[in-house]
Amino acid sequence: MRILFLGDIVGRQARGLVIAVTATLKKNLACDFVITNCENSAGGFGVTPDICNALFDAGSDVLTSGNHIWDKSEISSYITHQPRLLRPVNMKEGFPGTGLVIVSDKQGRRLAVLNVITNLFMADHLNVFAALDDCLGKIKLGQDADAIFVDVHGEATSEKMAIGHYLDGRVSCVVGTHTHVPTADHHILENGTAYQTDAGMCGDYNSVIGMNKEVATDRFRKQSSSRLSVATGEPTLCGVVVEIDDKTGLAISINPFRKGGRLQEAT
């Protein structure tokens, strides 16, 4: 099984590029599934039902998210009826939607996708390790799913690494999102789980994490409260391609994916 994961989409131009090329990427990379983090795809803050539908129609099998999932109010009713749009499973009770879904390909192979949010430097959420234990007590690799992919949405690299090691051998892949900066630590952990601390964003890298660099810099320099706006230069698509052994559910390889824009390409 081969999976393409695309990191946080930031803004209209990145969203349009993802929609335009997903089907081609899926074919050219011989991927069985595409997972896309969509939480910043509507003007840099949140996502709408129409955007979700367009991403699904383009070839994404599952959409993950994070702390910005509720920025557009209309998503609350949509997520209730669309199980393939995930919000972090460890958000406190009362939020609609789910953080775990199982999808199947034409060969009947089952991919479980789990979305969690970390605790350090983020808003108040339920303990991420307890939430992971709860989910993996219900869905076990090789029994209930042929592969398990975990999107860890969080700020602290140390916490993401700890989660990777904690899940090593229990899931197929752990990839981080949220910082919008791709890390160079893609590797397979000692018990067979593929790992990368952050996949990076799909967005303009002539920016500050996808936002207009002048406005963002002024917010740091002058403690300005000016509203951030999405950078509008050519976007780079960033993510990972993971290959998983159908017999064991563990990783064979993980490779960075970068295409277009300012960053050096990797395919």
Q: Using a CB cutoff of 8 Å and minimum separation of 24, what contacts does 184-190 make?
A: 184/256, 186/240, 186/254, 186/255, 186/256, 187/254, 188/251, 188/253, 188/254, 189/164, 189/165
Going by DSSP bridges, is the β-strand pair 62-64/187-188 parallel, antiparallel, or unpaired?
Answer: unpaired
Answer yes or no: are the C-beta atoms of 114 and 87 closer than 8 Å: no
241/233 Cα distance (integer angstroms): 25
Q: Scanning the structure block, which residue is given the tokens 């949140």?
A: 46
Three-state DSSP class for 224? Answer: coil
Catalytic residue among 68, 125, 153, 178: 68
104 in Cβ contact with 111 (< 8 Å): yes
Helix or strand run (H / E) with residue 159: helix 157-167
Which among 202, 205, 191 has a CA at the least distance from the CA of 238?
A: 202
Eight-class DSSP state of 208:
B
Beta partners for residue 171, in sequence order: 168
- Residue 134's contacts (CB-CB under 8 Å, 6 or more residues apart) are none
* 178: annotated active-site residue: no
Q: What positions carry a catalytic annotation?
A: 68
